[in-house]
């Protein structure tokens, strides 16, 4: 059995930037055990397995090298960019084309933005945001992150870290200065234990230059699921814009997240939040680039 596979850098338009994801065009008879083995072989932070359902609907399953996860933002962007670029989705000249991914969390819309017949950006709608808890006992978390408790927060506010999910739960961790953000050096074992105890995937640390800023600098750590650091994280940045909006730390409905700088894989993640029928709708998107394509023979 021959299977089409791709490596796609998400949240960048240049090779060797952004966050690489494995994309596997999966036949219906591919078992979850085999998906896990392929994800191990791809050895990327996440690999998405995509099975076409109809012209605009696709079953998508996500695996890290060690386990399945319910949703992955950057792998979604990578997957639907590849689907459009390689002709699995029939494109348009200009405008927005909507497709759907069927995930463990249900059906989630994806928007493909076309300019002059080419894909410019892909945006994914995330699961409904949920604030699960606020963290005020910060000693273990600070120790695991290699920082001081005094480094946590946003100057001029009483902002605390929160566990927020827009598909997968993460600790959204405000850091007072970019210098501290840049110097974070995690203890993988301690952070894995904190993540396990709090039932989260990992930590999304961020620095907001000022209240009301339209951009933030971010880093993401998830050693509990085999990811020491990630260059671009869609779901976590969706959780971040929700955190900032609910705590009145941004004025508008858009945020640009700059991530991956410390990994020499600069990434630009565009985040949008809007209120619809009394609920927040979050979209995260960006550009992508196919780096490799090939055939996997099983």
Pairs from 36-40 (Cβ < 8 Å, separation ≥ 24): 36/63, 36/67, 36/68, 38/63, 38/296, 39/63, 39/64, 39/65, 40/65, 40/66
**Cβ atoms 253, 272 nearer than 8 A:** yes
pLDDT bracket for residue 54 (50, 70, 90): confident
> Taken in order 236, 239, 245, 248, is the CA torsion positive or negative?
negative
Residue 53: CA count within 13 A, CB half-sphere: 12
Give yes or no: residues 209 and 73 share one domain.
Answer: no
Give yes or no: residues 9 and 55 share one domain.
Answer: yes
**Cβ atoms 184, 216 nearer than 8 A:** no
Give yes or no: residues 290 and 190 share one domain.
Answer: no
Give the closest residue to 133 by CA, choosing from 193, 200, 233: 200
Q: What is the pLDDT of residue 278?
A: 87
Is 90 exceeded by the pLDDT of residue 298? no
Is 90 exceeded by the pLDDT of residue 135? yes
Give yes or no: residues 194 and 264 share one domain.
Answer: yes
**Cβ atoms 110, 122 nearer than 8 A:** yes
Which domain range does residue 57 map to?
2-126+286-297
User: Whole-angstrom Cα distance, residue 23 to residue 194?
Assistant: 30
Is 90 exceeded by the pLDDT of residue 53? no
**Looking at residue 250, which CATH number applies to its domain?**
3.10.310.10
Domain count, the chain: 2
Give yes or no: residues 143 and 242 share one domain.
Answer: yes
Give yes or no: residues 137 and 272 share one domain.
Answer: yes
Give yes or no: residues 151 and 15 share one domain.
Answer: no
Chain centroid offset of residue 100 CA: 17
Give yes or no: residues 240 and 98 share one domain.
Answer: no
Q: What is the pLDDT of residue 195?
A: 98
Chain centroid offset of residue 273 CA: 15
Residues 188-233 have pLDDT tens digits of 999 999 999 999 999 999 999 999 999 999 999 999 988 899 999 9
What value does the mean pLDDT of the chain take? 95
Give yes or no: residues 189 and 236 share one domain.
Answer: yes
Give yes or no: residues 160 and 240 share one domain.
Answer: yes
Is 90 exceeded by the pLDDT of residue 248? yes
Give yes or no: residues 101 and 138 share one domain.
Answer: no
Give yes or no: residues 291 and 281 share one domain.
Answer: no
* Alpha-carbon radius of gyration of the chain: 18
pTM: 0.89
Give the closest residue to 69 by CA, choosing from 149, 160, 168: 168
Torsion from C-alpha of 40, 285, 206, 254, nearest 10 degrees: -170
């Amino acid at each position: 059995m021959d299977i089409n596979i791709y490596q796609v850098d998400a949240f960048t338009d240049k090779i060797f930037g952004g966050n690489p994801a494995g994309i596997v065009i999966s036949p219906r008879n591919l078992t979850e055990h085999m998906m896990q083995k392929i994800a191990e072989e791809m050895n990327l932070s996440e690999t998405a397995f995509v099975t076409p359902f109809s012209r605009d609907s696709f079953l998508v399953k996500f695996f890290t090298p060690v386990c399945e996860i319910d949703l992955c933002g950057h792998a979604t962007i990578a997957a639907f960019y590849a689907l459009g670029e390689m002709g699995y989705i029939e494109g348009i000249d200009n405008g927005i084309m909507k497709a759907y991914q069927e995930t463990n969390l249900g059906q989630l819309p994806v928007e493909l933005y076309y300019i002059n017949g080419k894909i410019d950006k892909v945006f994914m709608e995330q699961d409904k945001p949920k604030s699960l808890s606020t963290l005020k006992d910060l000693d273990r978390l600070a120790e695991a992150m290699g920082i001081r408790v005094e480094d946590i927060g946003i100057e001029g506010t009483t902002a605390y870290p929160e566990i927020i999910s827009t598909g997968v739960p993460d600790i959204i961790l405000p850091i007072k200065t970019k210098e501290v953000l840049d110097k974070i050096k995690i203890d993988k074992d301690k952070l894995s234990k904190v993540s396990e105890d709090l039932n989260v995937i990992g930590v999304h640390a961020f620095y907001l230059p000022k209240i009301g800023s339209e951009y933030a600098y971010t880093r993401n750590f998830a050693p509990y699921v085999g990811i020491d650091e990630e260059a671009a994280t869609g779901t976590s940045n969706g959780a971040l814009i929700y955190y900032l909006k609910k705590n009145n730390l941004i004025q508008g409905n858009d945020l640009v997240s700059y991530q991956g700088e410390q990994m020499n894989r600069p990434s630009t993640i565009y985040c949008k939040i809007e209120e619809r029928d009394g609920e927040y709708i979050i979209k995260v998107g960006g550009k992508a680039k196919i780096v490799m394509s090939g055939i996997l023979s099983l």
